[in-house]
Each structure stands twice: as structure tokens, then as C-alpha cells.
Amino acid sequence: MAITIKDVAALAGVSPSTVSRTCKDNPSISRETKEKVRRAMAQLGYDPSAAGSTASLQSCRTIGIILPPSPREAYENPFYLEAIRGISQFCNDRQYASTILTGRDNEEILSAIQFMMRKDQIDGFIVLYSRQDDEIIDYLYKEGLLYVLIGKAHRFANQTIYIDNDNLLAGQEATEYLYALGHRKIAYFGTDSTLLFSADRKAGYQSALLRHGITPNPAYCIEENSPSCADGSALQELLLLEAAPTAMVVSDDILAVALERACGRLGLSIPKDLSIISFNNSLFARLTSPQLTSIDVNSFQLGTEAASQLINHIENPNLPATKSIVPHTLVKRDSCRRLAQEAATF
């Protein structure tokens, strides 16, 4: 019985499409995976030329941009739009095409990835988010597909190309800024800590408080799964505490807008009653009243650097995995004020 591509895939522990792309020397497949597949071919005596394979590469190279699973919110977040703008501009300059892959859940995204790879239409991927235990990353890694991560790698760190900010340091600096303004009752409002950027910003907030001898108060820390959940009772209860915070570090401008709205409903004035510092320095930060003090994470540069690294690894497949840190900047506006010394005490 003739050896088939499925036999090679089973022995190598990859999908048949990965074997097919290895036969074509497709740059989307990592060197390690190609070697594993070729060893399986040699062991089984599989002849790709007899199976009608070709070593020609795609004439038009394409990058797949993977957004997080969401029915709506990922499409509304300016961070992703700016990162995509950076990716697209760099791709245009290098004559690469780009396409968006996303869906309502992981299953829908995986289906889109698998379809594109069966058609040999993608040379590599940029994943615009980083979370714990992500099955999308697990699939890309298992299949030996070339990808760049925007955010810190949670697994396979030594084998992952990633572009990130120092979110731990940024969380510290945001908290230190409020502390320097006299605030001591500083709260944190963030997204789900399974998102690694938010987990690091929260850790930076906590470490800055501990540095000044302030034990982080669990009642001062609120985390929501999505901005649409941010108008809930937990936030209102925090703002109405007898010892309510005088300042808050918020992990995203969108959440800060929700916080401003909650303050308005309760008759609280910003920054008189509550100082707010947020992250991303997006359009939302400039449209609020007062405008938000925000940490600019340079999302456009994150996208540009991700595209640069991916294309570099497509064209030079033997390069080792690289890690890059994009600097952040504090942009001061009107949502923070200096606290009178007597009001700063507990």
C-alpha cells in the first residue's frame, strides 16, 4: 500500500496540511517542525515528488492578524485598530498582504486558521493579544506555524517571538504618579487577569504600594471580564465606601470611560473626588471630559515591530525567536489632581 501524506502526518504528530506545506518549503512552518516532518518522510519512504508536491512558494505572501474572540468588543477597541494600522503600513511597504482572522469564540477562530492553511494562503500570523492557557497559541505551536505575539508569552516563551511593553513597570509608574500627588487610598480597576497585560499592570500597582508600606486592599481591586460589565454593583460599592479611594489606576481607557460614567451617576466629580490614570492613550482618553491622564503604550509601534519581526523570520527562517520591548510614555492631562495633605491620610 502506498504511503500517504496522512501516514507522514500521523508519525510526525502534525496535521496533513503541515506536511503539505513542509513539502513546499513554506516559510510559515518552523525549522524544527520541517525537520520532524522530513524525518518521518525518510522513515516511511515517502516521496513528495511522486505525490505531486511542488517546491514553489506563494507568489503573494500574506500575514494573518488574529484578534481575540469576541462577539463585538475587540472590533471597538482602539488598541487593536492602531496595532493593525501599524501592521498594515509595514506590510504595504514590504509588499505583503494582510488579512484579519477572528470570531465569536476560539472554535470559530481555529476554523478560520485551518481553512486558510489548507489553502496555503498564510505565511505567518500576528496574534494581537496574550492570555493564559490559550488554545489558539497551543494550536499554532503544535502545528509548528510561524507566529508573532503582541504581549508576553505565557507558554513556550523560549520558542515564541513576542513584542510587548513592560506592563509591570508601567503599572508601577502609574501608581507612583498618583502617590507623588499625595494619594494613599489608591484603587485598581482592570480587566480579567487571564489577559497578561492586565495581570502585569495589577502586579505593578501592588508592588508600588508595597514599596511605600501600603498593603494592597482587596476591596480596592475590581476586575471585569469585559467593558460591558463595568457598570456593575462592585464598582458602585467601591465608590460609595466610607473610606472610598481618592485615586484609581485603570488598565484600559475604555474601562476608564465606564468609571467616569459611574462617577457621574453617583454625583462624583473628576478629579475633585477621584483622580484617574488609565492606559493606551487612545481616542477615548482625549474625548472624555476631563481628558484622561493615560499611559501611551505605543500600539502603532507594537504593530509595526510585530510585522517587522514576522517578515524578517519569514524571509530568514533560521533566525532564533526574538523578544522586543516597546517603551511607554505617561501623558498628563486633567483627570488627576494633587491631594491636600490632610485628605491623603487614612
For the segment 71-96, the average pLDDT, to the nearest whole number, is 91
Which domains are present in the chain? 5-44 (no CATH), 62-165+299-315 (3.40.50.2300), 167-296+331-344 (3.40.50.2300)
Give the CA distances from residue 9 to residues 44, 51, 252, in Å, rounded to whole numbers and listed in that order.
11, 14, 43
- Which residues are bridge partners to 279 per DSSP? 295
325 alpha-carbon distance from chain centroid: 13
| 124-142 pLDDT tens trace | 999 999 999 999 999 999 9
pLDDT-derived band at 14, boundaries 50, 70, 90? confident
H-helix or E-strand containing 177?
Answer: helix 167-180
CB-based contacts of 171, cutoff 8 Å, min separation 6: 200, 201, 202, 203, 204, 205, 207, 208, 249
The conformation of residue 160, written as its DSSP 8-state character, comes to -
pLDDT 10s digits, 150-160: 999 998 999 99
Is pLDDT of 61 > 50? Answer: yes
Query: What b/e readout covers 251-285, taking b as 16+ CB neighbours within 10 angstroms?
Result: bbbbbbbbbbebbeeeebebbeebbbbbbbbbebb
Mean pLDDT of 234-262: 94
Residue 147 pLDDT more than 50? yes
Show Cβ contacts of residue 23 under 8 Å, excluding neighbours closer than 6 positions.
Answer: 48, 51, 53, 54, 55
Q: Dig out the grid coordinates for 37 from the structure.
A: 516532518
Cell, residue 157: 516563551
Cβ atoms of residues 115 and 103 within 8 Å: no
Average pLDDT in the chain: 89
Residues 215-219 have a mean pLDDT of 95
- Contacts by 133-138, CB closer than 8 A, 24 or more apart: 133/194, 134/106, 135/106, 135/110, 136/66, 136/106, 136/109, 136/110
Query: What is the number of other CB atoms lying within 10 angstroms of the CB of residue 286?
Result: 13
How confident is the model at residue 58, as a pLDDT? 44
